[in-house]
Structure 1
Amino acid sequence: MFQQSQHAGAVGIQFSASVSALGKTAQDVRYALTQTSSCLTQRDDLLLDQSCLVGAYHQDLTAIEIKADLQQIDSRNLRLAIHALQQIEAQIHDYTQAFPRHRLAIVVGTSTSGIADNEQALKAHFCGQSEQRIAHEKQEMNALAQGLQRYLNWDGIAYTISTACSSSAKAFAAGQRLLNADLADAVLVGGVDSLCKLTLNGFYSLESLSSGVCQPCGVRRDGINIGEAASLFLLSKRPSAVMLLASGESMDAWHISAPHPEGRGAQQAMQKALDAAGLLAEDIDYLNLHGTATPQNDAMEIKAVRQVFKHQPWLSSTKHQTGHCLGAAGAVEAFICQQVLQDQAWLPLHQAGEIDPELADQRYVEQPDIDQPIRYVMSNSFAFGGSNISLIFGRGDI
């Protein structure tokens, strides 16, 4: 028998993998987040008559073999997921082979699903080409969980969460609940989102895209960069080097596309996570901000941080390097937090531009190297409609 974590309900991250603009290995992630040159790339095929900076993953995915039962839902989104999964597939197979297939669950988050693969067909359809077939199956939200379940040949609970930018963070919370309710022996959680014209043009219409590399909490911040990523984790009750301790969720429902201006929902989510983990605010050593670089989001998040934390933990946003990965944002940032806890040697740099004087009273990470232990970290994800969640991760040997 294994020894349970001292934090009630904590679950272990047994294996993890992530692909994004940062790269595909833990070493890639550390290098990208501890230097100032940008990981974003210029694209001129996503907005009409205008280029934009995005967090793109550049490795070719066309060589991935798609089994016959997945071809109907084949998409770049699913291929990103499989590409990440293949890095840990053998370990997952070995770890789960003793469990019944119906006890192996999947909960993943996305906001785009396979819509990018249908954009040309939809354009043709709306231009009157009625013979053009649109494969709706690949853009259904549950195509991601369904595809991963078929790929792994599992038979347990499998579903997709789509709550915009909090989707994949909520997948962690849901997976933890399944384990603690004894509805599964292991749960694959995470999130995947791929670049598509729908989201780029949607944020452009909201005047929320940055004119350059985004500047979270910066004095000249003017919006976000969109990114793509796939980050997957196998959770179980067995302790591991890094544990998911707890989550805190709130719904402030202030506005369809704007957060509560005083950060009420964000503050509630962070405090609920602390309470669920049995921690005090001063126990948190590093806070990964949601940090989108929009004027309203950053202002409200720092207001919420001030309400919760009096000791000023180290904090930074990583979206100036990954782009905002939407439904995958919570998962890719969880992967970053996991690496920080494992390595105990570095923290992700905050953007290097001038900080807004009204937000400058915080302890932003300006140098990556650290000489103090990092025991507990928190990661924030806040979504349209006020769907908020904070995750707390900790070292398994505490």
Structure 2
Amino acid sequence: MKIHIIDYETCSAAGLNLKTLRTSLKNHESGLVKNNLPGSDLDTWIGVVEQVNNVSDLGRWQSRNNALAALGFEQGTIRQTVSGLIGKFGAARVGLVMGSSTSSIDRTEMAYTKLDESGNLTEQFKQPLVHNPHALSLFMAHLTGITGPSLTINTACSSSAKVFATGARWLETGIVDAVLVGGVDTLCLSVLHGFNSLQLLSPNPCKPFDQYRDGINLGEASGFAVLQRSSESSNGSGINLTGYGESSDAYHMSHPHPEGLGARLSMTQALKQANREAAEIDYINLHGTSSRANDLIEGQLISELFPNTTRCSSTKAWMGHTLGAAGITEAIIAMDTLNTNIIPGSKNLETLDEALSLSIKASDEHKVCQHVMTNSFGFGGNNCTLLFSRSE
């Protein structure tokens, strides 16, 4: 069964919405800035969505993560699309699948800095629905009025790629008639200093797949897409989800499998489900974090599975690695090439890693694509590959 992408929208440091993101990609304008996160003096670059600071009226739902979700949901036509589907099918027949790796831990961090004299939470921070791994989906159900099945996926950096696969299965089995999928993650001290403890942060703007890359930059983002069965949709975006692959090799808590075992499985599964050969894929948005190990292993695997003419790029140098929101952010960038006919380059790439042989360039390419892929590989070997195709 083909799944139609009815609508999609993204919000990150590279652009408040899809329209501004397209402009940033076209002009090669990165949203990364020197680390200015309050309470942190780490020498690195981050992708901050400054407009989130203006969202402070969420009451009992207040957290930076929920604020970014609310901000992103107001962009484009996502809110109107979801409201229309609720009106058509009923709120109980619309599903909700969100991905987040940190949920609202930013709010929990703040709560512990403002304990009362007895060491207890103060009234404003007694928020059981916020200090909760499922907080994002709870908040989005509240915000949208969706009463259908709701799920939060937390598989690290593949979280909001896997939402597409779950949403597709719900539609294929008839559990719902439409699904809002999304992902949101925000910067906080736990995230930034946690990655620093793994010695992964770069003091420079990241350079995915470059010979001289020296680490990653972190960012925050929100993204949403609306899925529906092809037989019941007018398909406003002209894009289908035609294949997905998921795997969990569980090789190591933070290091990818040295031979890319799980990543290979996710890519080959997506191709098989879509009934496509590797040579038919026009563009792959790589996970490409700019770490030494991740880029090398993914790059070598791409060379083994795909022709060297398959155009690839990593787009993390625009907004940073947005963790649990990276999957949907990069899925949207990949699928949007089917509408813009522009394959984004790999920003900051100067000298390709000498151990790799890929069709990857810093410059954009104008091309009418038919089939595109995106990879999202998370800690613990949680991998997901999505394949999108132009509607026939």
Same-fold status (TM-score > 0.5): yes
Q: Report matched runs for 1:112-131 at 5 Å.
A: 112-125=102-115, 130-131=119-120
Instruction: Give the deviation of 1:65 after TM superposition.
Output: 4.7
Task: Give, in angstroms, the shift of residue 118 of structure 1.
Answer: 2.3
Q: For residues 274 and 101 of structure 1, do their structure 2 counterparts lie closer, same or farther at Cα, with a shift above 3 Å needed? A: same
Partner Cα separation in structure 2 for residue 201 and residue 218 of structure 1: 24
Tell me which moved more, 330-339 or 166-175: 330-339
Q: Secondary structure of 2:245's partner?
A: strand
Deviation at 1:178, TM superposition (A): 0.4
* Code of the aligned partner of 2:289: T
* Residues 383 and 47 of structure 1: CA distance in aligned 2, closer, same or farther (over 3 Å): farther
1:263 paired to 2:260? yes
Q: Which residue of 2 aligns with 1:306?
A: 303
2:364 paired residue number: 368
What runs of 5+ residues in structure 2 fail to find an aligned partner? none
The reply on whether 1:93 has 2:90 as its aligned counterpart is no
- Please name the residue that 1:385 is paired with: 380
Is the CA contact 1:112–1:139 (under 8 Å) kept in the aligned structure 2?
no
Q: What is aligned with 1:180?
A: 172
- 1:1-398 alignment to 2 at 5 Å? 9-45=1-37, 48-63=40-55, 65-66=57-58, 71-87=59-75, 88-125=78-115, 130-133=119-122, 134-135=125-126, 136-237=128-229, 238=233, 240=235, 241-359=238-356, 361-370=357-366, 372-397=367-392
1:160-207 per-residue CA deviation (whole Å, 9 max, x = no partner) reads 100100000011110010000100011000100011110100000110
Superposition deviation, residue 244 in structure 1: 1.1
Q: Amino acid of the residue matched to residue 82 of structure 1?
A: A
* Amino acid in structure 2 at the alignment position of 1:130: G
Q: Deviations over 1:123-172 (max 9, x none)?
A: 455x9861443545313121111111121112100111001000000111
Contact 1:36–1:352 (Cα < 8 Å) also in 2: no
- Aligned residues of 1:44 and 1:51 also touching (Cα < 8 A): no
Stretches of structure 1 lacking an aligned partner (at least 5 in a row) = 1-8
Report how many residues are paired: 382
- Contact 1:20/1:55 (<8 A) preserved: yes
Contact map agreement 2:315 2:344 (CA 8 A) in 1: no
Distance 2:38 2:303 in 1: 38
CA–CA distance in structure 1, aligned partners of residues 37 and 363 of structure 2 = 36
Contact 1:108 1:191 in 2 (8 A): yes
Structure 1's consecutive aligned runs of 4 or more residues displaced over 6 angstroms after TM superposition are none
Aligned partner of residue 236 in structure 1, secondary structure = strand
Partners of 1:83 and 1:259 lie apart in 2 by: 33
CA contact (8 A) 1:217 1:298 kept: yes
Mean Cα displacement is larger for which, 111-120 or 296-305?
A: 111-120
Q: Quick one: distance in 2 between partners of 1:83 and 1:60?
A: 7
After superposition, the Cα gap between the structure-2 partners of 1:395 and 1:64, relative to the gap in structure 1 and judged at 3 Å, is: farther
Output the CA distance in 1 between the equivalents of 2:90 and 2:28.
47
> 2:14 touches 2:30 (CA, 8 Å); kept in 1?
no
Change (3 A) 1:129 1:286: farther
Question: For residue 384 of structure 1, what is the amino acid of its counterpart?
Answer: F
By how many angstroms is 1:338 displaced? Answer: 2.3
Q: Compared with structure 1, are the counterparts of its residues 156 and 199 closer, same or farther at alpha carbon in structure 2 (3 Å cutoff)? A: same
Instruction: Report SS of the residue matched to 2:130.
Output: helix
Letter matched to residue 151 of structure 1: L
CA–CA distance in structure 2, aligned partners of residues 228 and 188 of structure 1:
20
Report the equivalent of 1:6.
none
Between the aligned partners of 1:308 and 1:139, the Cα distance in structure 2 is 42
The alpha-carbon deviation at position 296 of structure 1 amounts to 0.7
Alignment check: 8 A CA contact 1:286 1:376 kept: yes
Q: In structure 2, what is the Cα distance between the partners aligned to 1:119 and 1:42?
A: 22
1:39-78 deviations in Å (ceiling 9; x for gaps): 2012233564334310111214534653xxxx33321111
User: 1:250 is matched by which residue type in structure 2?
Assistant: S
> What SS does structure 2 have at the residue aligned with 1:267?
helix
What code does the residue aligned with 2:213 have? R
